[in-house]
């Protein structure tokens, strides 16, 4: 009993001493970084936040990161011209938080581990991925040594092995990771460029099997087919397809074969396409079942065909994708009559804007919206950028009218909006332009426009007609007019919109003149046009059988807009 009391008393004393020591430690470092914590190798022990921030900033300012890439004792590249930014504030915050995370027990355990083993805080780095990737690819082009793969060659009617030669390949991911890590440390650093050996040692059994199979093939050919496509492989091509290292099919030759045939074999699925003429549906293009080469299956079946030397024909395995709308479905879709029309004009548009209006309309044209489905303009038109074919024209961006990719697409969204209103469809999302744009008031009162800009602005409406609807868009690039027709089955609904009420009109700000040294002296170039600010309101009402089935009030708040001219000051 006495021993238990002694043991309990000793434990109590130890516990009290531990609490006292820990309490004193916490008190001493309550606003300081605990011992053995460093940022990028710079010791931060006992520093408060401002001191730590000042110290780490000085290290990077006085001794910025300089990186050289070395291979075989030679400097291959010095990383210059790559813009990087170190987040030193975050690093100091992390250093301050060491030993202060979680509950008291967790903090004690973390603090003990740091005191025993230390803790290094890595500095996060912001950088241009394309810059670093481009540099690494250039280095890879210099250092990579392409392997020569073993192959079978026919000599005197016999197949013989031609051994391969090993290659060298830069380990790009490892190199990028090392570069980024070193950019987070001050001072000069030399990185040994990591490489790996590309081995080309042949597999004896696979070589033997391939030669035996080729001898059986003789001068026969292998035909690979799909639908109307056929490609015959001669014995020389067959010999190169045999894998001689670790797979039955040579990957490089197989990829080349797939690249050669995929354009003839693969096809995108396409819905049956039809048009309205004289209030009747006319078919003109049947549906197409899509096909994509089933790469794993093709590789397996090709290997079997090469080794078995049985059938001289191989059907290319594909994954079929079936269209949503088939020719036989047309009469069942409920597309019988015109239910809504929207019109607009866009006189005085620059050529780039006319081009974009026509392109965007062509991508919406023919869109089918199923019963109960919500139409999204952004989703239907897709990406709007130079990469998808759009030209430069004026757009509204960050409170300015500027040249940008896709200017003019809002002409299409505005006209589609008007067609949906005329069809009596529920509008689920619509956003007005920032200011009154002249194009949308050439043949319409103000306020009946819709801007789109992914992902912040979209035009959406619901097909609640109980049948499919078809959207057709026609642009006259000579007369600068467009029309959007919506076809479906009328359920007797009728839509009306009230005359827009204009209030709170405010005059445009004074014209702004901006000096531009890139323009010749005395030159004036208008880049923005004045417009009155206003609040515009109109009511949208849809009735069926004398009963209102949908109503909505549309409010547009247009900012006053100033004209801006560039004033040439150059020589």
> Which of 411, 325, 428 is CA-nearest to residue 361?
411
Q: Which residues contact 172 (CB under 8 A, 6 or more apart)?
A: 136, 137, 140
**Higher per-residue confidence, 221 vs 335:** 221
Highest mean pLDDT among 21-25, 432-436, 458-462: 458-462
* 203 three-class SS: coil
Enumerate long-range contacts of 168-171, CB under 8 Å, 24 or more apart. Answer: 168/143, 168/144, 168/195, 168/196, 168/197, 168/198, 169/140, 169/144, 169/145, 169/195, 169/196, 169/198, 170/136, 170/139, 170/140, 170/143, 170/144, 170/194, 170/195, 171/195, 171/196
Question: Is 3.50.50 the CATH number for 216-232+248-329?
Answer: no
Choice among 331-340, 417-426, 496-505, 544-553 with the minimum mean pLDDT: 331-340
Bond into 455 cis (ω within 30): yes
**Structural domain spans, the chain:** 23-132, 216-232+248-329, 333-570
* Residue 280 confidence (pLDDT): 57
Report pTM: 0.52
* Residue 320 confidence (pLDDT): 93
**Higher per-residue confidence, 197 vs 514:** 197
* Residue 561 confidence (pLDDT): 83
Q: What is the mean pLDDT of residues 242-257?
A: 92
Choice among 15-29, 458-472, 550-564 with the minimum mean pLDDT: 15-29
β-partners of residue 195 are 170
d(CA 405, CA 395): 8
Mean pLDDT of the chain: 86
Q: How far is CA 335 from CA 381, 427, 462, in A?
A: 22, 21, 16
d(CA 94, CA 73): 37
Q: Is the pLDDT of residue 9 over 90?
A: no
d(CA 341, CA 474): 11
d(CA 497, CA 483): 19
312-337: per-residue pLDDT in tens? 789 999 999 988 777 777 667 878 88
What six digits make up the tokens of 86? Answer: 């170190």
> Which of 40, 45, 46 is CA-nearest to residue 59?
40
Q: What is the mean pLDDT of residues 248-259?
A: 93
Q: What are phi and psi of 430, to 5 degrees?
A: -160, 140
Q: Is the pLDDT of residue 406 over 80?
A: no
DSSP H helices in 71-194: 88-97, 104-117, 129-143, 172-183
Choice among 333-337, 428-432, 548-552, 567-571 with the minimum mean pLDDT: 567-571
d(CA 474, CA 276): 12
Q: How far is CA 125 from CA 65, 69, 82, 87, 118, in A?
A: 11, 19, 12, 6, 22
Q: Is the pLDDT of residue 283 over 80?
A: no
d(CA 301, CA 324): 30
24 close to 30: Cβ distance less than 8 angstroms: no
């Amino acid at each position: 009993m006495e021993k238990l009391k002694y043991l309990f008393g000793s434990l109590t004393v130890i516990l009290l001493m531990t609490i006292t020591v820990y309490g004193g430690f916490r008190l001493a470092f309550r606003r300081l970084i605990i011992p053995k914590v460093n940022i990028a190798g710079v010791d931060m022990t006992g520093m408060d936040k401002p001191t730590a921030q000042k110290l780490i900033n000085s290290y990077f300012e006085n001794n910025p990161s300089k990186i050289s890439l070395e291979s075989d004792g030679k400097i291959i590249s010095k990383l210059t011209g790559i813009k990087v930014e170190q987040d030193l504030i975050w690093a100091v915050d992390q250093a301050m938080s060491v030993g202060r995370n979680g509950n008291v027990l967790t903090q004690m355990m973390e603090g003990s581990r740091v005191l025993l083993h230390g803790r290094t805080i890595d500095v996060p780095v912001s950088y241009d991925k394309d810059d670093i990737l481009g540099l690494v690819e250039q280095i890879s082009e210099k250092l990579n040594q392409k392997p020569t793969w073993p192959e079978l060659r026919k000599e005197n009617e016999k197949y013989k092995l031609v051994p391969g030669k090993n290659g060298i390949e830069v380990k790009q991911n490892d190199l990028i990771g090392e570069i980024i890590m070193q950019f987070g440390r001050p001072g000069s650093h030399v990185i040994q460029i990591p490489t790996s050996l590309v081995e080309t040692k042949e597999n004896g059994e696979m070589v033997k099997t391939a030669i035996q199979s080729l001898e059986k093939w003789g001068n026969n050919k292998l035909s690979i087919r799909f639908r109307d496509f056929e490609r015959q492989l001669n014995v020389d091509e067959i010999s190169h397809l045999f894998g001689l290292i670790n797979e039955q099919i040579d990957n490089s030759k197989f990829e080349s074969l797939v690249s050669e045939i995929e354009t003839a074999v693969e096809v995108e699925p396409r819905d049956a396409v039809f048009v309205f003429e004289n209030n009747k549906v006319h078919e003109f293009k049947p549906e197409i079942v899509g096909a994509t080469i089933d790469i794993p299956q093709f590789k397996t079946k090709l290997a079997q065909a090469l080794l078995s030397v049985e059938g001289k024909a191989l059907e290319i395995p594909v994954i079929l994708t079936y269209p949503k709308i088939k020719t036989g479905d047309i009469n069942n879709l409920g597309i019988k009559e015109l239910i809504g029309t929207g019109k607009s004009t866009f006189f005085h548009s620059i050529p780039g804007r006319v081009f974009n209006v026509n392109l965007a309309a062509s991508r919406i044209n023919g869109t089918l919206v199923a019963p109960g489905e919500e139409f999204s303009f952004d989703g239907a038109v897709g990406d709007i950028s130079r990469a998808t074919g759009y030209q430069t024209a004026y757009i509204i961006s960050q409170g300015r009218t500027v040249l940008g990719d896709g200017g003019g697409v809002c002409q299409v969204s505005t006209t589609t909006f008007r067609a949906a209103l005329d069809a009596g469809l529920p509008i689920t999302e619509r956003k007005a332009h920032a200011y009154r744009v002249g194009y949308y008031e050439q043949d319409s009162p103000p306020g009946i426009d819709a801007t789109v800009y992914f992902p912040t602005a979209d035009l959406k409406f619901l097909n609640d007609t109980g049948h499919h609807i078809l959207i057709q868009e026609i642009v006259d690039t000579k007369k600068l007019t467009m029309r959007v027709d919506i076809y479906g089955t009328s359920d007797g609904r009728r839509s009306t919109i009230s005359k827009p009420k204009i209030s709170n009109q405010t005059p445009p700000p004074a014209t702004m003149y901006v000096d531009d040294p890139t323009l010749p002296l005395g030159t004036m170039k208008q880049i923005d046009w004045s417009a009155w600010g206003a609040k515009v309101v109109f009511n949208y009402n849809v009735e069926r059988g004398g009963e209102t089935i949908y109503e909505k009030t549309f409010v547009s708040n247009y900012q006053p807009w100033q004209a801006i001219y560039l004033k040439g000051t150059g020589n």
